[in-house]
Amino acid sequence: MEQLLQINELSVDFQTPNGSLNAINKVSLQMGRGEVVCLVGESGSGKTITSLSIMRLIDYSKGKIVQGDITLDGNSLVGLSQKEISQLRGKKIAMIFQEPMTALDPVFTIGFQISEVILRHQKVSKLKAKEEAIQLLRRVGIPEPEMRYNQYPYELSGGMRQRAMIAIALACGPELLIADEPTTALDVTIQAQILNLLQELRKELGMSILLITHDLGIAAEMADRVVVMYAGQIVEQSKTLPLFEQPHHPYTQGLLRSIITLEQDRSARLYTIDGAIPSLTALPSGCRFHPRCPYATERCRAEEPALESIDDREVACWHASELQQNDHPLRLAAEQRERERTLELSGRRSDAVLDYDSLAEVEPLISVQGLKKHFPVKSGLLQLSKRHVRAVDGVSFDIYKGETFGLVGESGCGKSTLGRVLLQLDRATGGQVLFKGKDLLQQNVKERKNVRSEMQIVFQDPYGSINPRWTIEDIIGEPLWVHESLKGAAKREKVQEVMKLVGLNPSWYNRYPHEFSGGQRQRIGIARAIVLRPDFIVADEAVSALDVSVQSQVINLMQDLQEQLGLTYLFIAHGLTVVRHISSRIGVMYLGKLVEVAPTDELFAHPAHPYTKALLSAIPVADPTARREYAPIQGEMPSPASPPSGCRFHTRCPAATDRCRTEEPQLQSIGTGHRVACHYPL
């Protein structure tokens, strides 16, 4: 294959007030014409910095290429001035970014922003540029491109914006497209559509794609070759199939084992890589992965391994080839340790098995009946509301003591609102929420305060949901002060007790949130939620913002706590594999309605609603031999302010009939504990 991009021993430093900081170290990689290379690794591994260096955009964030070379088509990019490189950007190399919400200029139209790049690099008239822009919008699958041309970014959904970003990137027919986590911010159904679009465009235009992702499922689906980065270095690169079949580097092995699959045993604890990715200011000696590596030896601690060719790939590990032998002592020893650990932990988690036949006789911990939450859309004089956004529109289900009820659906389906309404953080518009038999909607202020100590919430964003100016003792202890008037030593004692419980060092009680990593902050959030020993916890996307390995640690912790403290969870998430692992029963939401409720294994084995089925098949599978050829579901969720008539899913349903368009299906039982709202259940 003809070489397109070559990166040789690239090192980038950042200037900080405390001196320069090495962000990526001697990164070398090649890309052929038309090749798709995936750069994978956890946050902080240097993937984005590598990609920004290719574009020389790193100069704008105080970064500096201190060593090495980047050549495109044989021409070096490192020596170019910003003015010279800007003539290549958008023309020969284009880039799309993670956040379609913020990556477009909010005060210019989509059309302007596409035409802008055409006019910059091609000698065409404004009218011609407009024509081309509309063509591009049509090509990336934006309906009514003439109208969209004149719209502003805020008028488009996230998926549409990402399509518009792709249109901008494609405008001048680049040879290399860099896509930095292009689907991370999108729903799994939209993600499948966008990945599919990228595949099509590559075939059509023959460009190379450097795809940066933390999701190995995406890498398996898209990549010809995979490059694994860790702490600013490449640790392994190989063709996709061999990498997934036989990962050589222990970090790659760990990453692959951390993937939660749809097949794995739900009663087992999740595999985790110990510890977390090191900060650039405190890199370990020798091999940077050695503190987390199960095979680490003295040599790993002392000397840094170089990237070397072994078998059909490049690996930076002292023991890479030895570890390929099944009976090598290092491997046997690690396996023994692993066995001991598993033995020690096994049996700790029993899936809260419910006898679904006798559920009718058990009183649920929480019973939701016909719950509604409508947000008025205010307009006109005196803000008289005319329309409502029906975020939650008549939802009924029960949650039993000790179980985990998973709630899934695309963003905007109302799942978070439902969680907030259950906790009385938002007032319901109608319906009932019975907690231990008492209707929470009828309670007065004092009763509501009391019941709040029995139900708590863990939020998604471990950065935004804790007060940065409080010590963690104050953060975790605030509920104790509010509900039990505890202060001083008594409060600290209890705080340190829960800190131990969630795996935080109790002597850190007087530290501030910024001193903790994302995973640790989420532990702080969990500690705050359990400090009053509640019965019920809503976990609203509690692990979505975390890296794969850290995510597994937090899920294991949540399950341990559930066993120890007898907690009941409502686990709200869009990551289906995670929900499958943790939940005993799952509810699927679409546009404010519950469309299917079933025990987890039943739901995954026999999804009865077409929407559930589409969601399940939209999950990227970390198996390069099982690539999908098409996106499982087209279109996007309509606005909850004007939901479609009849079955709300009919606009996207492949099996919709006239009946679906007019008659709204009710949730009906189709088996033990399995209910579905569809006229024609699968």
Partner 1 sequence: MVKYIINRLILAVPVILGSLTLVFLIIHWLPGDPARMLAGDDHAEDRIQYLQEQLGLNRPLWVQYFTYLWDSMRGDFGHSFANQQPVMDRLLSQLPSTAELAVVSTIFAIITGITLGILSAVYRNRLVDYVIRIVSLFGVSMPKFWLGILLILIFSVHLHLLPAIGNGSFKQVILPAFALGVTGAGILARMVRNSILEVIEDPFVTTLRAKGVTERKVLYLHVLRNALLPSLTIIGVIFVGMLEGAVVTETVFARQGIGKMVVDAIGQKDIPVIQASILICAVFNIVVNLLVDISYSFVDPRVRQQSA
Structure-token match 């990137």, residue found:
169
Q: HSE on the CB side for 3, CA within 13 Å?
A: 11
Interacting residue with partner 1 among 24, 94, 307, 389 (CB under 8 A): 94
CA–CA gap between residue 17 and residue 20 (Å, rounded): 8
Q: Is 190 in the site for partner 1 (CB under 8 A)?
A: no
Q: Is 102 in the site for partner 1 (CB under 8 A)?
A: yes
Q: How far is CA 2 from CA 29, 32, 35, 312, 674, in A?
A: 14, 5, 10, 19, 55
Q: Is 107 in the site for partner 1 (CB under 8 A)?
A: yes
Decide: residue 265, CB within 10 A, 0-12 exposed, 13-18 middle, 19+ buried: exposed
| Cβ-based nearer residue to partner 1, 136 or 466 | 136
Asked if 501 contacts 523 with a C-beta cutoff of 8 angstroms, the reply is no
What is the rounded radius of gyration, in angstroms, for the C-alpha atoms of the chain? 26
Contact range with partner 1 by CB under 8 A, out of 89-97, 186-194, 222-230, 330-338: 89-97
Question: Binding string, 141-160, against partner 1, x = CB under 8 A?
Answer: -----------x-xx-----
CA–CA gap between residue 131 and residue 122 (Å, rounded): 14
CB atoms under 10 Å from CB of 182, counted, come to: 28
Question: Binding string, 454-483, against partner 1, x = CB under 8 A?
Answer: ------------------------------
Contact range with partner 1 by CB under 8 A, out of 34-42, 78-86, 343-351, 553-561: 78-86
CA–CA gap between residue 306 and residue 253 (Å, rounded): 18
Asked if 667 contacts 677 with a C-beta cutoff of 8 angstroms, the reply is yes
Q: Is 105 in the site for partner 1 (CB under 8 A)?
A: yes
Interacting residue with partner 1 among 121, 373, 609, 648 (CB under 8 A): 121
Q: Is 120 in the site for partner 1 (CB under 8 A)?
A: yes
Interacting residue with partner 1 among 4, 31, 70, 89 (CB under 8 A): 89
Asked if 608 contacts 677 with a C-beta cutoff of 8 angstroms, the reply is no
| Cβ-based nearer residue to partner 1, 104 or 192 | 104
Q: Which residue type does 620 have?
A: P
Secondary structure of residue 17 in the 3-state scheme: coil
Q: Is 122 in the site for partner 1 (CB under 8 A)?
A: no
| Cβ-based nearer residue to partner 1, 170 or 532 | 170
Q: How many residues bind partner 1 (CB under 8 A)?
A: 35
Q: Is 385 in the site for partner 1 (CB under 8 A)?
A: no
Which two three-digit tokens encode residue 298?
A: 């003295």
Q: Is 269 in the site for partner 1 (CB under 8 A)?
A: no
**CB of 83 vs partner 1, minimal distance in Å:** 8
Sheet with 313-315, strands from edge to edge, namely 93-96, 176-180, 208-213, 36-40, 225-230, 233-239, 313-315, 308-310
**CB of 138 vs partner 1, minimal distance in Å:** 20
Q: Is 104 in the site for partner 1 (CB under 8 A)?
A: yes
Taking alpha carbons only, the member of 599, 588, 586, 589 closest to residue 672 is 599
**CB of 50 vs partner 1, minimal distance in Å:** 15
CA–CA gap between residue 135 and residue 143 (Å, rounded): 11
Residues in the chain: 682
Q: Is 88 in the site for partner 1 (CB under 8 A)?
A: yes
| Cβ-based nearer residue to partner 1, 152 or 509 | 152
Interacting residue with partner 1 among 3, 21, 28, 91 (CB under 8 A): 91
Angle (nearest 5°) at CA 447 between 445 and 448: 65
**CB of 226 vs partner 1, minimal distance in Å:** 24
CA–CA gap between residue 137 and residue 97 (Å, rounded): 18
Contact range with partner 1 by CB under 8 A, out of 22-30, 88-96, 349-357, 366-374: 88-96
**CB of 104 vs partner 1, minimal distance in Å:** 6
Taking alpha carbons only, the member of 500, 527, 533 closest to residue 513 is 527
Q: Is 177 in the site for partner 1 (CB under 8 A)?
A: no
| Cβ-based nearer residue to partner 1, 94 or 539 | 94
- Left (φ > 0), alpha (ψ -120 to 50) or beta: where does 546 sit? beta
Question: Binding string, 23-62, against partner 1, x = CB under 8 A?
Answer: -----------------------------x--x-x--x--
**CB of 31 vs partner 1, minimal distance in Å:** 18
Structure-token match 């529109």, residue found:
393
Q: Is 73 in the site for partner 1 (CB under 8 A)?
A: no
| Cβ-based nearer residue to partner 1, 169 or 529 | 169
Which two three-digit tokens encode residue 341?
A: 């650990």
Q: Which residue type does 133 have?
A: A
Q: Is 164 in the site for partner 1 (CB under 8 A)?
A: no
CA–CA gap between residue 667 and residue 678 (Å, rounded): 7
Q: Is 176 in the site for partner 1 (CB under 8 A)?
A: no
CA–CA gap between residue 581 and residue 212 (Å, rounded): 26
Contact range with partner 1 by CB under 8 A, out of 96-104, 232-240, 279-287, 443-451: 96-104
Q: Is 108 in the site for partner 1 (CB under 8 A)?
A: yes
Interacting residue with partner 1 among 67, 86, 246, 369 (CB under 8 A): 86
Which two three-digit tokens encode residue 287?
A: 């091999």
CA–CA gap between residue 77 and residue 85 (Å, rounded): 7
Contact range with partner 1 by CB under 8 A, out of 5-13, 67-75, 83-91, 533-541: 83-91
CA–CA gap between residue 548 and residue 291 (Å, rounded): 18
| Cβ-based nearer residue to partner 1, 56 or 609 | 56
Chain positions contacting partner 1, by CB under 8 A: 52, 55, 57, 60, 82-83, 86-91, 94-95, 97, 99, 102-109, 116-117, 120-121, 152, 154-155, 165, 168, 380-381
